Amino acid sequence: MLGRNRFLLLLLAGGVTLAFVSLSLQFLNLTPTASTERQLDVQEGAELAKSRKRVFPETHPPGPNSARDPYSYCNTPNGSEQAWEGHSPADYRLLSVQVMIRHGDRYPLYTIPKTKRPAIDCTLSASRSPSHPLLTSYISHMGLGGRAKWEAPLNSVPRIPNHSSCEVGELTQTGVVQHLHNGQLLRQAYRHHSVLPSDWSPHQLGVETTSRSRTVQSGLAFLYGFLPDFDWGRVSVRHQWSTLFCGAACDCPARNRYLEEEQRRQYRLRVADRELEKTYADMARTVGVLTRHLRAANPIDSLLCHLCHGLPFPCASAGGGNAGKCLTMEQFAVIRRQQRDDDLDRSRVGLYRKYATLAMHPYLNQTATKMERASREGARREEVFSLASGHDITISPLLSALGLTEASFPRFAARVVFELWRSPKQTKKSSSTGERSKGKGGGLFIRILYNGEDVTFHTAFCRSHDRHAGQPLCPLENFLSFVRRDMFGIVNATSYREACYGR
């Protein structure tokens, strides 16, 4: 998210706006360049059991309107969230869970010139709001982090935020509480499924994160809320150098070409927006800087921080001719309007969807492989719970690659959950005869949830499946076929290699 690189130089030279952090749309760094990737280092049990027996309700993905309220992007922690993780028809068995999270609330990455930085304390205190019942023990427990196994360069990353005056991009106490809440929410959702038994082995838990302190700390907060007995000795944390979590399969020239074409589309649309240009000129005059310097400071990032933390918008520094003048909500609204326009144009043109397909295939393929392994009988040593801690530029292309084009932009502490289920018929057959599953998806089903909402039947691979005919879940075979072949149809290919190198 720190990389501005070649694109920033282009924007400065042309005198047009930088891409902005968006609550309902995309940021510039929603589509990172290859160099950007490298720079980015409750309900009680009875109620849960009862509701889990229901056939799933008709659900709808969080659409663009749900993100138009900026406070939904802030994701202020509260206890009223409805989560559908862990719900299933009667007697279905949960085999594995894979979770991708965005880091929690953070300090801005950009500072508006000639204005005061927002005054936020990034140390942790249970007596300060927002807080959480686990916060005190979490702070104490993180001091024992040296007992875990850390891949380099994660060893030197602090386990908790610890600056009284937040540093750039640092996780705040709000961000920690958001993920303590997320972890505890999923702990309650899965408590009766024993997806991780009490005697779980290190092989059964997978944790990976980028090297940014905000993703490392968010992942730890989530795990601490999720695991009843957080045992450092059984935790191994893998380092993922790419924000796309593509591992050894990151090289894809076509992906980079789609990215460059998408960035040019963004550039052209912003150049043509006269109201946006006038707004930025007005904002620049207010704080006493050149318009191009204001754009380069990505002011929406700072404005969102002020909004989420209940702080007044930035004002011009004392002593200048504009002392006392402040940026306004009306100016903020113009930027958001342009971002909504960009979102519509992005969907119409389709370049971002192509980029996202190639960007997230390696992660989705890894997800599919883990599901296949977890479905084998006697898979005691397989990874059955996986946590990946990433960024908005991780989750946004993941949603697009799955075909969830109407899903809201990833808020702070957003989560995407993949669940693997086995039907009762398959379970009984296996236990009585010892016979393994036949075929890739026999008796196996997948659910995908976004921020607690079941969005499975809005995905590209299960949109046409009749959920009321025979099985109310989506067959795993649909997902496997999609990941291994069908998803490449959008780029006129049949495999990842052909899609990346065939043009």
Q: Which residues are catalytic?
A: 103, 392
Q: Which residues contact 417 (CB under 8 A, 6 or more apart)?
A: 85, 97, 98, 99, 100, 186, 447, 448, 449, 450
- DSSP for 34-55 reads HHHHHH-----HHHHHHHHTSP
Is 253 within 8 Å of 358 (Cβ atoms)? no
- Element housing 418 (H / E): strand 415-422
Instruction: Check: CB of residue 496 under 8 Å from CB of residue 358.
Output: yes
CB 379 within 8 A of CB 373: yes
Q: Decide: 105 and 171 in contact? Cβ < 8 Å.
A: yes
Give strand pairing partners of 450: 416, 453
Cα dist from 92 to 114, 198, 456, 476, whole Å = 59, 20, 17, 14
Q: Which residues contact 403 (CB under 8 A, 6 or more apart)?
A: 458, 459, 460, 461, 463
End-to-end CA, the chain: 29
Tokens of 319: 């002593």
CA-CA distances (angstroms) from residue 62 to 59, 214, 337, 375? Answer: 9, 25, 19, 30
Number of continuous H segments (helices) and E segments (strands) in the chain: 17, 9
DSSP code at position 102: E
Q: Could you tell me which of 20, 23, 30, 21 has the C-alpha nearest to residue 68?
A: 23
Q: DSSP labels for 381-394? A: TS--EEEEEE-HHH
For 228, residues 6+ apart whose C-beta sits below 8 A from its C-beta are 187, 198
Report whether 309 contacts 365 (CB < 8 A).
no
What is the rounded distance in angstroms from the CA atom of residue 429 to the CA atom of residue 422? 11
Q: What DSSP string runs through 436-480?
A: PPPTTTTTEEEEEEETTEE-GGGSTTTTTS-TTSS-SSEEHHHHH
